[in-house]
Amino acid sequence: MSELSYNPTELLICTASRLMEDETTAFIGTGIPMLAAALAQRRQAPNLVPVFEFGGVGAILEELPIAVGEARTFHKALHASGICDIMETAARGFIDYGFLGGAQIDPYGNLNSTIIGPQHHPPKVRLPGSGGANDVGSLCWRTIIIIRHSRRSFVEKCDFVTTPGYLTGPGAREEAGLPPGTGPLYVVSTLALLGFDEESKRMKLLKTQPGVTVEQVIAETGFELIIPDRVGVNDPPDAEELRILREEVDRQRLYI
């Protein structure tokens, strides 16, 4: 097959979308996770149950939502509820996956979306804040983080830990009081698909994105990554994925 042309956003969407499993519940946030979920419902996961924090459960994503509370988040849905019920549903262990983003990520998958700089107030740069991210990172079974890859975003230490990954390492989540068996599973970046080492809970490279070398990933990461002996290469977005994204999911090109 000849090489298809696609942009970094399309690559992130397709990589994340393939990780969405049929007949699972998944917290969907604004932006790339919405596109990935809409794509997944048209591919391998027609019975994916998107969960939106302000109350939408089980929407059919025929039209792309652009906000986590808007009517498309409960379009032909099974349930239009409220935030307390949704977050309590996560607390009771009903939400399988949560998709998250952030401005910074550290080796343990902790995320920052609150401030940039050493001081909390007044800060050098004020970001939006946790929103539902902390709750999703605390209460879902497994989280999948979607983030653009650079030394500015992949940092040794987040300026502020908004959302818990594995915190300081093995056992730290449980020690903090978070439910056992939870934590980040994958990191989808513009350069790679990454996971976390079972023992140390530190980030490890799983696959590079097409056309990216392991050296490039290392050079663009601000901390030491675990590099296994064998590193695979992610399949590029295929023609059908790109067609669905461009012609059905994001016809108005709000994102891609």
CA distance 194 to 247: 29
Residue ranges binding another protein (CB under 8 A)? 30-31, 52-56, 66-76, 80-84, 87, 91, 110, 114, 120-135, 138-139, 160-164, 167, 172-173, 175-179, 254-255
31 or 184: CB nearest another protein? 31
116 vs 214, beta carbon nearer another protein:
116
**Least Cβ distance, residue 131 to another protein (angstroms):** 3
**Minimum distance from residue 178 beta carbon to another protein (Å):** 5
Give the nearest distance from C-beta 31 to another protein in angstroms.
Answer: 6
Look up residue 249 and give its DSSP letter.
Answer: I
Query: CA 95 to CA 218: how far, in whole Å?
Result: 33
Closer residue to another protein in complex, CB, 81/209: 81
Active site residues: 53
Instruction: Name every residue whose Cβ is closer than 8 Å to that of residue 113 and which is 6 or more positions away in sequence.
Output: 101, 102, 103, 127, 128, 129, 130, 131, 133, 162, 163
Give the residue with the Cβ less far from another protein, 97 or 160.
160
Task: Supply angle C-alpha 142, 39, 35, rounded to 5.
Answer: 75
Label residue 29 exposed, middle or buried (CB < 10 Å: 0-12, 13-18, 19+): buried
Residue 186 CB, nearest approach to another protein (Å): 20
